[in-house]
Structure 1
Amino acid sequence: MVDVAVVILNFKMRALVETCLETLFQDIAQSGLTVGVVVTDNKSEDGLLAWIHQNYPAVKTIETEGNIGFARGVNPGIRSIEARYYFILNPDTQFTEPNTIQRLYDWMQTHSKVGVAAPRLLNGDGSLQYTIHRFPSLSVQLIRRSPLSKYRFFKSRVDRFLLKDVDRSEPRPVDWAQGSALFIRKEALDDVGLLDERYWMYFEDTDWCRRFWQRGWLIYFLPHIALIHFHGRGSAKVPGMILPLFKNRLAREHLKSWAKYFWKWRAAGRLKII
């Protein structure tokens, strides 16, 4: 069993994965931890796996049968390695601070009730990404996809969902954090289970965090530990609510996952309506 298993899912992001791995191995070079790395590739056929075998032969690679989505791509990576902690990492992340993984590990070792820790994520220019949230309500999700988000009253609802009203200077519990970078305790993972594969993409991280809370595990945001995340919202490239459904597959998948999530958590006391 390794101390930390880093699990990265790729789909046609070879250049970003190369940078991610290069900075990852720089980060752990002086660490006393045993770190295993798994890269799952959703049939990108971009030469990444051959590049990994040549440059990082210790990295385990898994090739799936196609673009099977986030949950179905990440879960095999988790299953393939035994670790005390699992670091689920997007391919478009980059390590820029020293000893990031060591500091995540050390913090989790002293906070036994925390099941998931989420570092602060920054854009390439160093600005903050809003990657921690309150659990979504139906109304906020509709507002975010509509022109209403431009008006002060409705914008304040979205800002509250994005936790813009909370202090981000100290570690704090949050409802959920985006799956771009999640550091997860093995005991919590064994208790809660893997990602729900009924979600192709989107809301699987929201659902996962909700399940951790349901089982009594805390989700924590750690602002003193940061990574760069070259994030792009593919589902929002076509504005509006109706037009994207015709022009953007990711928008359609977002809507499908949106419906699955709210249906799954529809029972009284488990779903915020407003």
Structure 2
Amino acid sequence: MNKLQVSIVIVCMNNLKNLYPCLNSIRKYTTVSYETLVVAYMFSKENLEKVKQDFPWVTFIESREIRGFSENNNLALRQARGRYCFVVNDDTYMDMPVIDELVSTFEKLTGRVAIVSPNIKYPDGRPQYCGRNKATFWTFLASSVGIRHKDSQYKEKAGVFKTFNVMGAAFLIRTNVFKSVGWFDEYYFFCPEDIALSTTLIKLGYTCFVNGDVTLYHIQGGSSLSLMQTATEPAHVKGSISFYSGKSVFKKYVLATCYIVRSLVRALIWQLIYYIKKREKAKIKYCVYMNVIAGLLSSKSPKELFIKYYMRIKGGE
């Protein structure tokens, strides 16, 4: 029997401001047996030395090649020894024993349960994700034309309940189940690897749950607009369209067309704003949408798109 209960997996892109509160809260509120695996993505030599000294109980895995969320997480997941894996973003923190409570919840459930997630909130207490509805071609198509998909049935819901999709910012999963599906699908460079995972698990007959009484705080959207989005957004859109269209060429064509039209309109608006007000934000937004269009018209994978536009950013520095 595996005595190590949880392998905590965190990917951090050289951001100690995020990582320190996350690790400190884990150490303070977790009593079940655990190991912590942090993927140090593109860390500077100085930062890597500092975190190793400040957190000797953490295993740091260096990642110096260009990798997406899935690839970086998989570096650590393949080394996980716990019965469960707790995948969590570095820009999160807890003020209660989140991991302990999720393990306890897991062990009270019966049947083919694969995942238990916490109630994820913004730091000011506003709800972010407390379970997610099923995501389909139709819901994604609606969002592509500006109709937002709301998870109203899960908002602020209390207690333990079944959900469909999970939020990749934080979830506890059985390690053997995660391994059986090959961990995260590495084709998805920036989303929707979490939705792809839970969708696959449900197709295999597993279930996903949320404990709405267990709260984790996620500082989502805290970073300001940057040139990096000119590389991440094309990868995100290309991966999402691939997932939601499945093997259907027709669905892929419909979604790509919607996003190309939408992006073209937005690019023209931001270009006009730039000419009138000369704001750098407008210039970046214009580049984001033009790169999305070019990416959808190319045969490149999400990762290849990211590398292309990331190298363009680096070349411009």
**Which TM class, normalised by the smaller chain length?**
0.7 to 0.9
Residue range with higher mean Cα deviation, 135-144 or 253-262: 135-144
**Aligned equivalent of 1:101:** 99
- How many angstroms apart in 2 are the aligned matches of 1:61 and 1:164? 39
**Aligned equivalent of 1:111:** 109
Where in structure 2 are the equivalents of 1:82-231 lying within 5 Å? 82-97=81-96, 99-112=97-110, 113-130=112-129, 132-146=131-145, 148-149=146-147, 155=148, 158-159=149-150, 163-166=151-154, 168-231=157-220
Shift of 1:12: 3.2
- How many angstroms apart in 1 are the aligned matches of 2:22 and 2:74? 20
Shift of 1:46: 7.0
What is the TM-score of this pair, normalised by structure 1? 0.81
- How many angstroms apart in 1 are the aligned matches of 2:107 and 2:175? 12
The AA in structure 2 aligned to 1:124 is P
1:251 to 219, 228, 233: 233
Shift of 1:120: 0.4
Larger Rg: 2
The AA in structure 2 aligned to 1:7 is V
Shift of 1:247: 6.8
Kindly provide the CA deviation profile for residues 86-105 of structure 1, in whole angstroms up to 9, marking residues without a partner as x: 000000000112x2211111
List gaps (5 residues or longer) in structure 1. Answer: 150-154, 239-243, 268-272
**Aligned equivalent of 1:80:** 79
The AA in structure 1 aligned to 2:152 is K
- Percent identity of equivalent pairs: 20
- How many angstroms apart in 2 are the aligned matches of 1:237 and 1:164? 28
- How many angstroms apart in 1 are the aligned matches of 2:195 and 2:116? 14
**Aligned equivalent of 1:232:** 221
The AA in structure 2 aligned to 1:258 is S
- How many angstroms apart in 1 are the aligned matches of 2:204 and 2:46? 41
The AA in structure 2 aligned to 1:255 is V
**Aligned equivalent of 1:241:** none
What is the TM-score of this pair, normalised by structure 2? 0.71
The AA in structure 1 aligned to 2:135 is P
Task: Give the 3-state SS of the residue equivalent to 1:164 in structure 2.
Answer: coil
- How many angstroms apart in 2 are the aligned matches of 1:263 and 1:64? 31
1:123/1:231 contact within 8 Å kept: yes
Q: Tell me if 1:18 matches 2:23.
A: no
The AA in structure 2 aligned to 1:138 is F
Kindly provide the CA deviation profile for residues 67-87 of structure 1, in whole angstroms up to 9, marking residues without a partner as x: 301000001111112110100
1:192/1:215 contact within 8 Å kept: no
- How many angstroms apart in 2 are the aligned matches of 1:55 and 1:36? 16
- How many angstroms apart in 2 are the aligned matches of 1:190 and 1:143? 33
Question: Could you say which structure has the higher helix fraction?
Answer: 2
Larger relative contact order (Cα-Cα within 8 Å, sequence gap ≥ 6) = 1
List gaps (5 residues or longer) in structure 2. Answer: 250-254, 256-317
Task: Give the 3-state SS of the residue equivalent to 1:248 in structure 2.
Answer: helix
Kindly provide the CA deviation profile for residues 129-178 of structure 1, in whole angstroms up to 9, marking residues without a partner as x: 036322223343243344x43xxxxx5xx22xxx2134712322111011
1:11/1:67 contact within 8 Å kept: no
